[in-house]
Every structure is written in structure tokens, then in C-alpha cells.
Amino acid sequence: MELNRNQYFFMGLVVLLLGAQLRMVESYTLTQDATRFLAERSQSSSTNAVFSLTSDLGAGPQKVIQPPEWAGWCLLSIGSVLILHSLAMKKPGG
């Protein structure tokens, strides 16, 4: 399947907005369900041990994710290149 101009533009826009969001937000705090999901699927026994100790208390730990600064800049750059590439392509059907 070959991607056309509109699809490149849409992918670029989504990646650009995701990069902007990563630049504006300092950290993400996951819910207890998401933290439990990650703990069950991780290979680390220390995470599971900490989770099992606090799961009986009702208020388990919540994982905080702090994306690196370069990730936002990287996504902004890739999104910009995709948008510029889509504008250089021929219009669909033309």
C-alpha cells in the first residue's frame, strides 16, 4: 500500500502535536490500574515485590513517567519533516 499526500500530512500533524505535548508536560502520573498492568508484565521482581506489599493497603504506588527533553524535540522535528514532505507531493488524483 502506498501512502498519499493526505496520509503523510495527517501522520505529520499527529506526531507534531505529540511532540508539542511532550514539550509542555513535565511528567505523567499513571493510575493504579496502569501501574498494576505494567508491574504484572515487567520482568523486574523488585517492582512486583513493592507492588505486592502495598496492594493490600488499597492505595498502591503510582508510577511517574518523566520523558526526556530530547523526545519532544525529536517528535517535533519528525512531524515537521512529514508535513513538509506531504506539501511537496502531488495532490491525490491529480
Is residue 14 a part of any domain in this protein? yes
The pLDDT, as a whole number, for residue 53 is 47
Does residue 9 lie in a domain region?
yes
Closest CA to 30 of 38, 20, 21, 22: 38
Domain for residue 94, yes or no?
no
Distances (CA, A) of 52 to 6, 33, 46, 68: 48, 14, 10, 29
Question: What integer is the mean pLDDT of 47-56?
Answer: 50
This prediction has a pTM of: 0.72
pLDDT, greater one: 45 or 40: 40
36 falls within a domain: yes
State the greatest distance between any 2 C-alpha atoms of the chain, in Å, as a whole number.
64
User: What is the domain extent for residue 56?
Assistant: 5-88
**How many whole angstroms from its chain centre is CA 54?**
28
Domain count, the chain: 1
